[in-house]
Structure 1
Amino acid sequence: MLTLSGVGKRYPTGDQALADIELSLPKGQVLALIGPSGAGKSTLIRCVNRLVEPTQGSIRLDDQELTRLSGGALRRARRSMGMIFQEYALVDRLSVMENVLSGRLGYVGFWRSFWRRYPQRDVAEAFRLLERVGLPHAIDKRADALSGGQRQRVGIARALLQSPKLLLVDEPTASLDPKTSRQIMRLIRELCAERELAAIINIHDVALARQFADRIVGLRAGRIVFDGMPQELDNEILTRIYGEEDWDSAADQAEPEGGEVVAAESVKHKREESTRLAELKPAISGGGV
Structure 2
Amino acid sequence: MLKLDNVSKTYKTGDKALHNVCLEVSAGQVVGLIGPSGAGKSTLIRCINRLVEPTQGSITLGSTDLTKLNRRDLRQARRRIGMIFQEYALVERLTVMENVLSGRLGYVPTWRSWFRKFSPEDIALAHSLLDNVGLADHYNKRADALSGGQRQRVGIARALEQNPELLLVDEPTASLDPKTSRQIMRLIRAACQERNLPAIINIHDVMLAQQFSDRIIGLRAGKVVFDGSPEALSDEVLTTIYGDEDWTQLRADATPTQNEATAVLDLAEGV
**Counterpart position of 1:171:** 171
Q: Which moved more, 1:68-77 or 1:215-224?
A: 68-77
Cα deviation 1:78-126 (Å, max 9, x = unaligned)? 0000000000000111100000000011011221111111111100100
Distance in 1 between residues matched to 2:209 and 2:113, nearest whole Å: 37
Paired residues of 1:178 and 1:255 also in contact (CA < 8 A): no
TM-score by length of 1: 0.88
Question: Any idea what SS the aligned residue of 2:254 has?
Answer: coil
**Counterpart position of 1:106:** 106
Pairing 1:9-20 to 2, within 5 Å after superposition: 9-20=9-20
Pairing 1:3-152 to 2, within 5 Å after superposition: 3-152=3-152
Paired residues of 1:220 and 1:242 also in contact (CA < 8 A): yes
**Counterpart amino acid of residue 96 in structure 1:** V
Cα deviation 1:228-257 (Å, max 9, x = unaligned)? 000000000000000000011111222868
Question: Any idea what SS the aligned residue of 2:50 has?
Answer: coil
Paired residues of 1:33 and 1:200 also in contact (CA < 8 A): yes
Distance in 2 between residues matched to 1:242 and 1:159, nearest whole Å: 31
Larger Rg: 2
Paired residues of 1:5 and 1:59 also in contact (CA < 8 A): yes
**Counterpart position of 2:218:** 218
Distance in 1 between residues matched to 2:252 and 2:141, nearest whole Å: 39
Question: Any idea what SS the aligned residue of 2:226 has?
Answer: strand
Deviation at 1:14, TM superposition (A): 0.1
Distance in 2 between residues matched to 1:156 and 1:236, nearest whole Å: 34
Distance in 1 between residues matched to 2:169 and 2:39, nearest whole Å: 16
> 2:239 aligned with 1:239, yes or no?
yes
Deviation at 1:71, TM superposition (A): 2.0
Gaps of 5+ in 2: 265-271
Paired residues of 1:6 and 1:22 also in contact (CA < 8 A): yes
**Counterpart amino acid of residue 175 in structure 2:** S
TM-score by length of 2: 0.94
Aligned residues: 258
Question: Any idea what SS the aligned residue of 1:253 has?
Answer: helix
**Identity across the alignment (%):** 67
Cα deviation 1:2-40 (Å, max 9, x = unaligned)? 100000000000000000101001111000000000000
